[in-house]
Each structure stands twice: as structure tokens, then as C-alpha cells.
Chains A and B, each alone.
Chain A
Amino acid sequence: MRGPDAHGRFGPFGGRYVPETLMNALIDLEQAFRQCIDDQSFQEDLHTLLEEYAGRPTSLHEASRLSDALGGARIWLKREDLLHTGAHKINNALGQGLLARRMGKRAIIAETGAGQHGVASATVAALLGLTCHVYMGEEDMRRQQLNVFRMQLLGAHVVPVTSGTRTLKDAGNEALRQWVAQVEHTAYMLGSAVGPHPYPMIVRAFQRIIGKETRQQFLARCNTLPDVLVACVGGGSNAIGFFDAFVDDASVQLIGVEAAGSGLDTDAHAATVSKGTPGVFQGSLSLVLQDRHGQVLPAHSISAGLDYPGIGPEHAYLHHINRAQYVAVTDDEAMHAVEVLARHEGIIAALETAHAVAYVLKCAPRMPRDAHIVLCVSGRGDKDVSTMMAYKEAHA
């Protein structure tokens, strides 16, 4: 039985822990979503946009040179990086944008870490004629200047968030606070599979196209299912959309790769499953990096999109029932993986994606030549080149 249940729970995780002011908005959103998802004209509109505007279906590319170099399993890449705006985030932004328009909302607000969801939101707002405010931590604005400028070019207002660690977690808090103040006319476009019910369910629904296409494409090419799927996990939206079509196939191993930052033996990481404990954070019960008094701890990752101390409740559940495994790779491993993938396949992956690549570099050589790994290339690395340059200079 796939969650969530009527209370928004995936097993013990999920739920709705928000100020009362937001409760009816979440209930209305859930209702509107359930209507749209069964509505043919909504599905047609979304399908058309995904195909003609965003560039779906994305290809499934066999990474032959990389596979040969590693000498183990055959590696396949699901190319979400080829989508308009450069990452899987556009799938969800188009879905939630259409939903907002159906609900009669004229304005959207969004949070962003790496800026990919912010850019996707700003893009969809421009396309659908909605006003858009994107909340972004000051630290992330510094790390992702290119995306800040892209959002501004698209006509969005980027609002710097100066509280806390000035990263994704604080942007999420501030977006929720702003939503509380203008809930009746504004849609909150949440970018990851986190937050209060129904967001984890909605984000999964709009991202499940990744796994659905992968399954069809892989079956058509190989007439079997892959052995392992690997995706990076911050909040976990690309991973949940990628895994979704395979969750019932027990033979397919699902692996989420978190950011180990400077290392799991340090305080500077974002490995929520490896190091977190159950708690409520940003509206749902899941695993959280926190101290024993329930204060949320700052996360660290070189990748702004993974720099988050929480994780979507469905991932916590898949971990809980041992259906998916979660591993962590360090900043250094991710940076190395960017170069390996670039030099063998001509693809510069986003730093988020690079974490998944790094894990594949470790596990593929240990697997037989007839095994298949599919890696979700969740985004392209253009936004990260200045971070990469700074890293290389510091480690020269």
C-alpha cells in the first residue's frame, strides 16, 4: 500500500504540523490537486507543456565509456539535465503552476536552495502570467549568483533571507511565513518532496514522470528491469519521482545519495538519513538533523541543493521499511565525480547530481558486467561552475 494515508502519513512519517492559519489552504490544495490529477484536460495541458515547452521525454543514454572505464556494471543516464531550465525541477513547477492557475491564484511564492527550483518557478510564472517571489538564503544567493540573475531576468522578485544559516532551510521557513500572511490569494510552490501534506504527495505526482519514462525506455532497450537506481537526495524530489515506478519491483535496488559534506565523522554534512533522528521540521514528521533538545542543526554541503537538514517523509518511510538504501558521499568525492563524468561522457552534472555519480563510481566496479545501473542526472552543472572553480583553486 503506497502512502500517504488520509492523514498524509507514510507509515509513521509525514502529517501536517503547521500553524492553524495554513490548514484550510492545505486542505483546499489537496482537494484541488485530487480533482486535477483525475481531470483529463488538466493532464492534457500538463502533458503538452512537458513535451513542447520543457522537452520531455528526456533521453536514457548509455554511458558506455564510463562503464568501460569502471569495468563493472553497465551505466545508464536518465537525462533530466536536458530539460528546459536545466533540471528536473521544471516538472513539478509546471504541475504546481497549472494547479495554482486552476485554483484562481495570481501570485506564487517559492523557496530555493541551489536556485533551480527558483528558476523553474520564475519560468513557469512568466509562462502562465503569475507574479513570483522567490525566497533564497543570502549564503545561497552568493553561491548561486547566476541563478539569482536568471530569476530576475524572468521577472521574479528574489527576496534574500538573512535568518539562521541563510540557506535552504531558512528560505523554506521564510516562504512558509510569507504564505501565512497572504494565504488566501497566493499559491506556495514547494520545490521538494518535503513539507506538510499534501506537498510530498503532489511533488511525487509531478516528478513520477522521471521513473515512468525510465521504466518504459529501459524495458524497450533491454527487455528487463535495471538492477540498481541511483539518485541524489536533499529533500528528495528527483529521487522520489525516479524511484516511484520501481518501488513495487523488489528486484530493483533503490539508492539515495546524501551529502556527507566534509565527512560523516564531522559536524559539517547533510546526511539526514545516516545521522538524523525522527522529528518535526517544516511541517512534517521525518528524519531531521537535530540535537537532543529538538533544535535543528545546520547542514553543510558544497551543493546548495543538498544543504538541507531534513528529508521528505516518504524517503524516511522507504528507509524505515528497508525498501531503499541511503548512502552519503563527501564534497571531495562529488567534485571528483563531476570531472570523471565530464571527461568520459561529455556531461557536466550539477553538484547535487555529482553525489549520485560519485556513488556509482564506487559501486559499478564491484558489480558484474551484465548488471545495469540507472543514474538520474537531475540537473546540469552550469550554475555550479564558479563553485567548482573556487574549489579547484583552493585544492590546487
Chain B
Amino acid sequence: MNALHTTFAALRKQGTVACIPFVTVGDPDLEVTRALLPALAAAGAHVIELGVPYSDPLADGPVIQRATARALAHGTTIGDVLQLAQDTRIDGLDVPLVLFSYINPIMQYGINALIADAARSGISGLIVPDLPYEEAQDVRATARDHGIALIPLVAPTSHARIASIVAHADGFVYCVSSLGVTGERASFASEGFALIETVASLTDVPVCVGFGISAPEHVAQFSRCCDGIIVGSALVRTIEQHSEALLDRSRRVQATRDVAHFLRTLFSQSSGGAQ
């Protein structure tokens, strides 16, 4: 059984909303990412999204663009991300891992090869932000064959498309909280909440929300209506702010704790709350 299914089933039983941090792998370098993941798990992460850096991230705002540029500056590849996933298992990390990648790095690696290698590396889910379901047949079928969940995105503009998208959903459905690219928002209009409600009425697959969530109040608001909350840019910005200390081995342990503390604080008011 896919680890995402097991994790979400257990969380639902407890009435706990899933804490899902996103990190750009290789930002500021691979060694730091490897050190960060167990700290995020210890701070309450239930699932971790591993972002594959890509030169032209269309769905991302400036914070993740900068992280991507830092990761690419020393040549982080999708293969490195899979290797990191394996390494973290050796380190004893046991939370489900989701690979987040634009389609082109996957295509150049080879769709079949990438998904087979991801499965071998202990990846449970795959998010491809520029692969709408019409273009996703190959990836979806291959992922299914390898026991990897292809996690679809739905947006406030998806309207009539929602039913078809969630019909194919596996792992969880990723609801885009509001229009726009990734990046912190001050507050959220009702459209995001309405979207979550619509999606939840159409599927039993867990419903998670992301894009812009950056304050404990946001987490508290969304935790009342969905199964999980994804925190990307706000966490990536925190990593950026600590990058000098993270890169310095003598200060790394403390900096890692500081980043993890930020995640814990975000979820401190959520229903059930991350531990």
C-alpha cells in the first residue's frame, strides 16, 4: 500500500491535519537539504515535498525562483533528488516523500525510467505543476504501475474540470488556494475555501491546500476544512534567511532547528496540530 494512503488514513482517524513542507532540493546545497529533512519530520511534517529545481519554473513566484537558481548554480539534477530520497531513508527518515517536478526534467530523464527509479528511491507521490490531466496519460499510467500516486492540482479557475481531475486523483488532491503563482499571501478570499469544499464533495481522496500559506492563522483557517496543508515559499524563505548558517557546519545544527521551529510555529494553532 502506498505510504501516502497509510499516513492520511491514520491522520484522519486522529483528526489531525497533515503538515506538508516543501523544500527545493539543493538549496542552499544537497548536504543541507539532507540535514533539514529529519528536522522537519521531527517538527511534525507528515509528508515532505521534494522540489526538483528547474530553470523556468512557470508556476513559482520569486522566493522559489531564487531557491531554484541557488540549487541550479551547483548543478542539482533530478537524479540527485532521487539519490537524496534514498539517503534520507538510510538516515532513518520514514515520512512519505513526494517528488515535485516540472515535466521537462522528467521527460529528459525518461518518463518510465524516472518513475521506476523514483519508486526504487522510496518516493510515494509525484506532483507535476505543468502537466494538466489531458497531457498526463503516460505519466499517470506509468506511475500507477509503480505504485506512485500522481497528485493532481485543482485551481479556483478549474470549475467544470474539477470532476474529471479528481476522478483520476491518487494520494491527495492539491488545491491551489488562490489565483497566482507560489508565494506568501497576506490573506485568502473565499474562493479557496469554496474550492476545497467542492473537491471534498466529489472525492474520498484526501484534500490538501497550498500556495501562499505563511502564517499560523492561515493554517488554523484551512485546517478546519481540509486534510493537509502545504507550506512552500514561507519555508523556503526561512531557509534562505538561514542559508549562511546552514552552510556553516559549526552552526548547522542550530540553524536546522530554527528552520524546523518555524514550521512547528506555523502549525501550532491547527486543529489536532502537528506534534
Please say whether chains A and B are actual partners in one complex: yes
Q: At the interface, yes or no: B272 with Cβ under 8 Å from chain A?
A: no
Q: At the interface, yes or no: B169 with Cβ under 8 Å from chain A?
A: no
Q: At the interface, yes or no: A35 with Cβ under 8 Å from chain B?
A: no
Q: State the CA gap A151–B197 with chains docked (Å).
A: 44
> Which of B40-48, B102-110, B221-229, B260-268 is found at the contact surface with chain A?
B102-110
Q: State the CA gap A169–B56 with chains docked (Å).
A: 9
Q: Which residue of B lies closest to A24 (CB)?
A: B157
A18 touches B58 (CB 8 A): yes
B134 touches A280 (CB 8 A): no
Most B CB within 10 A of own CB, among A173, A180, A183, A293? A293
Given contacts A281-B56, A294-B109, contact A19 B104 (CB under 8 A): no
Contacts of B129 in A (CB 8 A): 19
State the Cβ distance, A245 to closest chain B Cβ, in Å.
Answer: 31
State the Cβ distance, A198 to closest chain B Cβ, in Å.
Answer: 13
State the Cβ distance, B64 to closest chain A Cβ, in Å.
Answer: 11
B105 touches A24 (CB 8 A): no
Give the contacts of B104-137 with A (CB-CB under 8 A). Answer: 104-109, 129-132, 134-135
> Which of B88-96, B176-184, B240-248 is found at the contact surface with chain A?
B176-184
Q: At the interface, yes or no: A15 with Cβ under 8 Å from chain B?
A: yes
A280 touches B58 (CB 8 A): no
**Band of interface residues on B:** 35 or more
Contacts of A25 in B (CB 8 A): 157
Given contacts A163-B65, A177-B181, A181-B179, contact A294 B161 (CB under 8 A): no
B56 touches A293 (CB 8 A): no
Q: At the interface, yes or no: A267 with Cβ under 8 Å from chain B?
A: no
Contacts of A17 in B (CB 8 A): 103, 130-132, 135
**Band of interface residues on A:** 35 or more
A20 touches B153 (CB 8 A): yes
B104 touches A290 (CB 8 A): yes
Q: At the interface, yes or no: A295 with Cβ under 8 Å from chain B?
A: yes
A184 touches B179 (CB 8 A): yes
Contacts of B153 in A (CB 8 A): 19-20
Q: How many A-B residue pairs have CB under 8 A?
A: 117
- Find A20's partner among B62, B79, B132, B181 (CB 8 Å cutoff): B132
Q: At the interface, yes or no: B193 with Cβ under 8 Å from chain A?
A: no
Q: State the CA gap A183–B72 with chains docked (Å).
A: 30
B61 touches A281 (CB 8 A): no
Q: At the interface, yes or no: A7 with Cβ under 8 Å from chain B?
A: yes
- Find A279's partner among B79, B108, B134, B159 (CB 8 Å cutoff): B108
Given contacts A181-B179, A294-B109, contact A282 B56 (CB under 8 A): yes
Q: State the CA gap A123–B232 with chains docked (Å).
A: 39
Q: State the CA gap A279–B62 with chains docked (Å).
A: 24
Q: Which residue of A lies closest to B132 (CB)?
A: A23
Q: At the interface, yes or no: A302 with Cβ under 8 Å from chain B?
A: no
State the Cβ distance, A171 to closest chain B Cβ, in Å.
Answer: 12
State the Cβ distance, B92 to closest chain A Cβ, in Å.
Answer: 29
Q: State the CA gap A181–B212 with chains docked (Å).
A: 12
Most A CB within 10 A of own CB, among B55, B102, B157? B55
State the Cβ distance, A6 to closest chain B Cβ, in Å.
Answer: 10
Q: At the interface, yes or no: A2 with Cβ under 8 Å from chain B?
A: no
- Find A19's partner among B59, B62, B105, B161 (CB 8 Å cutoff): B59
Q: Which residue of B lies closest to A176 (CB)?
A: B58
B58 touches A177 (CB 8 A): yes
B132 touches A173 (CB 8 A): no
Q: At the interface, yes or no: B77 with Cβ under 8 Å from chain A?
A: yes
Q: At the interface, yes or no: A21 with Cβ under 8 Å from chain B?
A: yes
State the Cβ distance, B106 to closest chain A Cβ, in Å.
Answer: 8
Q: State the CA gap A282–B57 with chains docked (Å).
A: 9
Q: At the interface, yes or no: A55 with Cβ under 8 Å from chain B?
A: no
Q: State the CA gap A163–B181 with chains docked (Å).
A: 15
Given contacts A17-B103, A17-B130, contact A294 B179 (CB under 8 A): no
Can you name 11 extra interface pairs (CB under 8 A) apart from A7-B134, A20-B165, A293-B108?
A: A16-B134, A17-B131, A20-B176, A23-B155, A24-B159, A177-B60, A184-B179, A279-B108, A283-B58, A294-B109, A296-B55
Residues of B within 8 A of A (CB): 54-62, 65, 72, 77-79, 102-109, 129-132, 134-135, 152-161, 165, 176, 179-181
Residues of A within 8 A of B (CB): 7, 15-25, 163-164, 169, 173, 176-177, 180-184, 279-283, 288, 290, 292-296
